[in-house]
Structure 1
Amino acid sequence: MDNFFDNQRILQLIWKRKFHFVIVGIVAITLSAIFSGPAFITPKFKSTARIYPTNIWTLSDESETEQMLEILNSNDIKFRMFETFNLDQVYKINKEDPQYLTYLFAEYNTNVSTSKTEYETAEIKVLDEDPQRASEMCDSIISYFDQKVRELHKTKNKEMVDITDKQLKRKYNELDGFEEKLDSIREKYGIISFGQVDEVTRGYMNALATGRGSASDTKKIEKLYDNFSKEGSRAYRLENQYNKTIEAIDSLTIVYDTYLTEYEKEITYSHVVEYPFPADKKAYPVRWLIVAFTTLSAVFFALLVFLVLDYGKKD
């Protein structure tokens, strides 16, 4: 077989069998044109959309667009598409089949694809026999994406609203406890605020030093001074805890309001830069490509057959 693939021999064979190759080519072109026609392969139309992610939290090292693709390809969205467009009927898949979902997912993944472009947009492509349905499927995928992200954000924000609400209630209960204890000290000992201690001390010392004022006034000041000596430190601690609790409540209220605002928002999570529309020209099958590939394959196969026949004759 040293000269089986000899170039000169091949060229001679092609010239010798040129009419055979022409016939093979014509037959291949004719058959491939027929079998790639709508009678054998149902034409499909393509609808395309491109969207940018927006208002999305990045949860890992993925970019916002990669995260968008993860959600676009989620089973939640696929199941909604199955139901909305009755894709089991469109793809002619029997629900009673034990592998119904396997076939349905395979068909969907064949006809619906998402990818990231070089400009960081997410591109959605849908192939379908009906151009209007292909366009509507593109629109629905975008809509379901927004709803899915909104649901994820609402779930997280609701969780934080509930957590901060519980913390606020606990802090308000603590505040009521401190307030009750402070009210008790004020009523029983006359200590309104620990800030009074300097004023009471000065008044008591002046009264003792100058001897001014009535004995009853001096006695009141002396009693208040004694009360500060006994309960002042406790009142001081309670007052500090009370003030810190108010500060904590103020901080938690800001956090609570922030998450509540986020929870109540109704916003979109995609910017549509290319809207889908019903195509007026089929995208599949590409008949010229099928015809060209089939014809080249047939001619090449014929060449191999003729080479084998010619080589056998020489032997």
Structure 2
Amino acid sequence: MSSRSYSLLGLWPVINRWKFLVLAAVALALVVSVVVALVLPNIYKSTTVFYPTNPQTTDPDRIVTEGGKLELGGRSEDLDRVITIGESQPVAEGVIRRFHLHEHYKAGKPGDDAADQAALDEFAGSLTIVHNDRDAIELTFQDKDKELAARIANALVQSIDSVNQQLTFANRGKVLELYAQRRNFLEREYQLTYDSLLAGRKRYGIYGLALESRYLAKEIIETESELRRAEGEGNSGKAAGLRRALRALTKTDGGNIFNLESYTTGIDRMNTLYARFNDIQGRLLGARSAYETARLGISGKISSIYVVQEAYPATKKSKPVRWLIVASSVLITFALSVIFVTLLELYRGNLSVGKSRS
């Protein structure tokens, strides 16, 4: 026995028989959907666009060597960190308290678990943070009040910036203390080396004058030559004076501050002191500059994000699309009505067949 076949054209007689029921259902859906669409409030959304900056360019312990130039961070870790902060519960709770959203959402009194959770759920449902195809962050907030939506979106960006700075600069005090310790240590070493240098100059008569050793050698040679000529000429008085002069040039106890014995004894030590003094002096200047730069960078508030576009109040609603609600409700009701009457016809047909066989 062949089975019965059905087609879409075969539905028309069924619809025609039940047309009043179908039309009543469609009319009811039309009325209800129109009422619902008119009752639904307008929802406005405001969007702000920003880039996270590279935290390495604003980290105080990198300012000294790399300068204070801000670089936009298109790195995935920077983007993920900013999105995670924006979707975090502490940021949401702070914004909810700031704008009194418990009252705005009619969730209840703050402090009640159910009310707090309802406010958080409503807030999370209104917030969207995405990473767009240009490596920027788009933060969108929706609300019935377009002015409030824009203010909340901008406040969220500020909160993200604040939390991001706290994460990035958590070691600010420690970094500045390390710079201060390094500067103080070099200042002490500088003073000790300077005192040693002064003591060495007085002891050895080496003052770091240009061509100091050359002039000493020249004077010794000339004095000794004069002494030999005086001895050769038999001039004992002049020779005695030249011997005393030569001794003063060569011996420490001769009376001269600058003499060969002191010079040869202290030249290596003084060269070491000079080298250390110059090294510490350069390092001290660098440490002072680093400390001042770090203190300036830490005391100042360097933003960790670069805002491309602030959120502004929307000029038109984003939802609901009322005509779409009405049209979809009517179409869905019509389709369900047709399905219902078709199943009802099939049931009645099978029931009548069963009775005729019996």
TM bucket (normalised to shorter chain) is: 0.7 to 0.9
CA distance in structure 2 between the aligned counterparts of 1:68 and 1:5, rounded to whole angstroms: 58
Q: How many pairs are equivalent? A: 310
Deviation at 1:49, TM superposition (A): 3.2
| RMSD of Structure 2 on Structure 1 (CA) | 3.6
Map of 2:25 onto structure 1: 24
Deviation at 1:120, TM superposition (A): 4.5
- Aligned pairs for 1:258-297 (under 5 A) are 258-265=293-300, 269-273=305-309, 275-277=311-313, 279=314, 281-297=316-332
Structure 2 gaps, min length 5: 57-72, 228-240, 253-258, 351-358
| TM-aligned CA distance change 1:283 to 1:132, over 3 Å | same
CA distance in structure 2 between the aligned counterparts of 1:189 and 1:114, rounded to whole angstroms: 74
- Aligned pairs for 1:183-202 (under 5 A) are 183-193=198-208, 198-199=213-214, 202=217
CA distance in structure 2 between the aligned counterparts of 1:3 and 1:226, rounded to whole angstroms: 130
CA distance in structure 2 between the aligned counterparts of 1:86 and 1:204, rounded to whole angstroms: 92
1:233 to 257, 265, 268: 268
Contact 1:32 1:294 in 2 (8 A): yes
Q: Does 1:218 align with 2:253?
A: no
**TM-score after normalising by structure 2:** 0.70
Map of 2:47 onto structure 1: 49
Q: Does 1:62 align with 2:76?
A: yes
Q: Does 1:306 align with 2:341?
A: yes
Map of 1:129 onto structure 2: 144
Structure 1 gaps, min length 5: none
Deviations 1:228-273 (A, max 9, x none): 3333222222221111112222333343343334334456543343
The one of the two structures with greater contact order (alpha-carbon pairs below 8 A, sep at least 6) is: 1
One-letter code aligned to 1:230: T
Contact 2:46 2:150 in 1 (8 A): yes
- Aligned pairs for 1:129-208 (under 5 A) are 129-148=144-163, 159-193=174-208, 198-199=213-214, 202-203=217-218, 205-207=220-222
Deviation at 1:131, TM superposition (A): 2.9
Q: Which has the larger radius of gyration?
A: 2
Secondary structure at the counterpart of residue 124 of structure 1: strand
Deviation at 1:276, TM superposition (A): 0.7
1:78 to 74, 92, 98: 92
Contact 2:206 2:263 in 1 (8 A): yes
Deviation at 1:18, TM superposition (A): 4.2
CA distance in structure 1 between the aligned counterparts of 2:293 and 2:281, rounded to whole angstroms: 18
2:288 to 243, 250, 253: 253
